[in-house]
Amino acid sequence: MKRSSDILNGAEWANVRALYKSSGFTDDELKNPIIAVVNAYNQVCPGHVVLKQLTQRVKEGIYAAGGTPVEIGTIGACDGVAMSHKGMQYILPTREMIADDIEAMAEAHRLDGLVILGSCDKIVPGMILGALRVNLPTVFVNGGPTLPGRMKEGNPYGGEYIDHSIIQQSEGALKSGAITKEEFDWIENNAVPTIGSCAMLGTANTMCCLAEVMGISLPGSAAIPAVYSRRQSIAFESGKAVMNLVKNNICIKDIVTKDAILNAIKVNSAIGGSTNAVLHLLAIAYEAGVDLDIFEFGKVSMSVPHMVPMIPAGQYTLLDFYEAGGIPVMMKELASILMLDGITCTGHTSKENIDEFKNKNTDVIRGLSNPVHKRGGIAVLKGNIAPDGAVTKPSAIPEKALLFRGPAKIYESEQDALIGIRAKQVHEGEVVVIRNEGPKGGPGMPEMYKVMKVLVGMNLGSKVCVITDGRFSGSNNGCFVGHICPEALDDGPIAYLQDGDVITVDVLNGIIEADVDFSKRRKEVVRKEVEQVKGCLYQYRKNVTTASKGAYIATRTEI
């Protein structure tokens, strides 16, 4: 029986029917399953501008398959706009706000199914978390990546294509004299030629790809460019697909199982996906009731080689990946190590979904016998600096920087670090430590994206190592380690590092250590009071879990 029938049938619920009718719904429409079409459209986030059109096509698909769609809005903040200023504190917390929106609207109105539409970084996992909380038949539709910019001949970066991430890198190049102001302005005006999520494999496209791997979006849909007509037809087909799930009572927790999440970890490693996938997949596992910890994540990830040389870990873009066959082809190449018998939003198994796809470019999507790197895409490190774990991206680290040892250069915040780097205070061989930027300390665990981009642009990306209790963008490359746990605000060892302490980062052996007796150091150092915050950031700091668990806010009693 439909959930919506609980409040739409019988004389006692005439008031609810009257409210729907006041919006123009008919008696016949109210007899159908009521499907929420959750739309994060806004005009700030370029990855979401297309969602208005896609929402209409989804609703048409729902109607065509015998359902009644009701559109619901939610927020969708843009990481790129919020980057490197106080606005970034709000980005990760919006993931929980979006989940709250979906839970509240679906439960308050006893809705029967969900189609969730988003594209960008924390919005996609936020929507998945909300859908898992209510556990309804669910299909995810992403807006698609932008087309990449085409670089001019003789550019200093190499490669044919560019994307948004090169702009910050160019700032460092401009300051060091590697490019002119005219060249810098040309990059700004040509790096992002269309709407869509950023063209490289940042967190946005990573999470859209992993949603497809887990089976909650239609096969082959994750990498379709935002401006392609196929994106519109996928939206229509997704509306029809959710009605099939409702008919067969297939809910999102039937799809997002431990096997599905482990598949996502493996594919993330193979494609060289974002380090933020660690936060999001751990949080998704929590809401799905799946037992998964950060060290299992690291072990699984490092068992799969990096197989797609996509920006920032190679020269190819999402367009190249799409044209080569996208996620279904990647899954076919990994078929021997994936669990493909789980049900998906098509009503079929993953194995059935990918059967017809063929690899159209083996330079873009490699096989297990011919990887880009033998090492995995994501590594989890451990040591006396990070006893509860830390995260890095071996696929984006130059070979010579996989083992890095040097003296610490301490900064108490991202802004302090940017000031110091721009003033040329950071020198080759140093380990830049940026602390007080964790989920509680930031609060909101800001990305140290700009720090790394400026260093890369100054030709220091592989010559210094950046470590932090904050996080990094999926578009970062160079030598970096984030998610250091416990964070400084939780009295983690990173809080007690001092200038000159010798730090070793051994990526391939999973070690991050300092030549420091932290038990002795704790007795010697008096820490500063933490800066107070208010509003939703106060609530977030008060309630958020550690990054090693996924930086979620608990939604049930944990025993």
Q: Assess whether the previous peptide bond of 371 is cis (omega < 30° from 0).
A: no
> Who contacts 427 (Cβ-Cβ below 8 Å, separation ≥6)?
464
Half-sphere exposure of 479 (CA within 13 A, CB side): 29
Residue 401's φ and ψ, nearest 5 degrees, are -105, 5
CB 253 within 8 A of CB 132: yes
CA distance 290 to 255: 12
CB 325 within 8 A of CB 364: no
> 3-class SS at 422?
helix
The two beta strands, 390-392 and 403-411, are unpaired
How far CA 295 is from CA of 321, 378, 387, 437, in Å, comes to 29, 11, 11, 22
CB 505 within 8 A of CB 449: no
Catalytic residue set:
473
User: How many separate helices (H) and strands (E) can be counted in the chain?
Assistant: 21, 14
How far CA 443 is from CA of 91, 435, 541, in Å, comes to 10, 11, 6
CA distance 119 to 143: 5
Q: Which two tokens stand for residue 84?
A: 């490197």
The two beta strands, 502-506 and 403-411, are antiparallel
Give CA angle at 358 (275, 393), nearest 5°.
Answer: 15
Q: Assess whether the previous peptide bond of 312 is cis (omega < 30° from 0).
A: yes
Give CA angle at 329 (162, 209), nearest 5°.
Answer: 60
CA distance 376 to 353: 26
User: Buried b / exposed e across 532-551, counting CB within 10 Å, b at 16+?
Assistant: ebeebbeebbeebbbbbbbb
Burial of 422 per CB tally in 10 Å (0-12, 13-18, 19+) = middle
Cα dihedral across residues 496, 500, 502, 506: positive or negative: positive
CA distance 86 to 89: 6
CA distance 559 to 339: 30
Alpha-carbon Rg of the chain, whole angstroms?
23
